[in-house]
Amino acid sequence: MVEIVTDDAGRKLHLRRIGVVEQMRLFKALGPELSANASYMHGALMGAAVEMIDGVPLPFPASEAGLEAALERIGLDAMPVIAKAMGQGSDQELAAAAGN
């Protein structure tokens, strides 16, 4: 599955499906400490899901440095669009859905 979303800057982000093998590769690349950090992994999975920005490929992260470089290219402003496409609402949307 490749989904294409548009961020607030008008960039086209192609998202890849992150399967169990890709998740395991990401855990291995990041090591046990970062892989155990739920907040870090939430952002890492969103960063790893982007395979292309405006037609320019973004390789799957093979290290912490690779993930950081990908996230730097993606930018914070694109994260809500990626989270929504991945079925992950914002913290506020999740709280509202839970009735909080």
> How far is it, in rounded angstroms, from Cα 50 to Cα 75?
11
Q: What is the distance, to the nearest Å, from the Cα of residue 5 to the centroid of all Cα atoms in its chain?
A: 13
- The one-character DSSP state at 50 is E
pLDDT tens sequence across 49-67: 999 999 999 999 999 999 9
pLDDT (mean) for 65-77: 95
User: What is the model's pTM?
Assistant: 0.81
pLDDT tens string 2-46: 799 999 999 999 999 999 999 999 999 999 999 999 999 999 999
Domain residue extents for the chain: 2-97
- What's the confidence (pLDDT) of residue 46? 95
